[in-house]
């Protein structure tokens, strides 16, 4: 009988610790989603301020100055990226987009119409890449 009680107690302890673990995970997930929301918002804000004039509000390469640009800015929705900036035989990876934004297409043999944004922080550039991925959908 005492043996049975011990098992029940162990079982109860197991349930309590499992629900504590679940609670901690839920709190962590909530904290994470709260953190990631402003990142996307700042990507959108940066995009609208710095990029939409050429790439268009929806990223279709149809911004107001697009007609003036000799080489049309890329339509992000087509997912046809040109530059392989880190020589991994793949164009349009997150690293490639970040490099093109930071150093400008001209640094990779492309158009100098798009200026480099070397003053943006790595975090700002990462949030822009996240926003471009959203525009691709």
Q: Does 100 bind ligand HEC (CB under 6 A)?
A: yes
Distance (Å, whole) CA 59 – CA 76: 5
**Binding residues for ligand HEC restricted to 8-37, rule: CB under 6 A:** none
Query: According to the 3-state scheme, what is the secondary structure of 17-86?
Result: HHHHHHHHHHHHHHHHHHHHHHHHHHHHHHHHHHCHHHHCCCCCCCCCCHHHCCCCCCCHHHCCCCCCCC
Q: Does 101 bind ligand HEC (CB under 6 A)?
A: yes
Q: Does 102 bind ligand HEC (CB under 6 A)?
A: no
Of 71, 86, 88, 94, the residue at the interface with ligand HEC (CB under 6 A) is 71
Of 56, 102, 127, 128, the residue at the interface with ligand HEC (CB under 6 A) is 128
Where does this chain touch ligand HEC (CB under 6 A) — which range of 1-9, 14-22, 31-39, 92-100?
A: 92-100
């Amino acid at each position: 009988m005492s043996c049975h009680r011990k098992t029940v107690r162990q079982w109860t302890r197991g349930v309590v610790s499992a629900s504590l673990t679940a609670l901690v995970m839920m709190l962590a997930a909530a904290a994470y989603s709260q953190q990631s929301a402003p990142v996307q918002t700042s990507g959108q804000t940066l995009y609208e301020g710095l990029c939409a004039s050429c790439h268009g509000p929806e990223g279709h390469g149809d911004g107001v100055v697009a007609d003036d640009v000799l080489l049309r800015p890329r339509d992000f929705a087509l997912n046809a990226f040109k530059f392989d900036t880190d020589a991994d035989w793949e164009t349009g990876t997150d690293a490639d987009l970040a490099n093109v934004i930071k150093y400008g297409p001209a640094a990779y043999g492309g158009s100098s119409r798009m200026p480099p944004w070397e003053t943006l922080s790595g975090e700002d550039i990462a949030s822009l890449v996240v926003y471009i991925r959203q525009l691709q959908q």
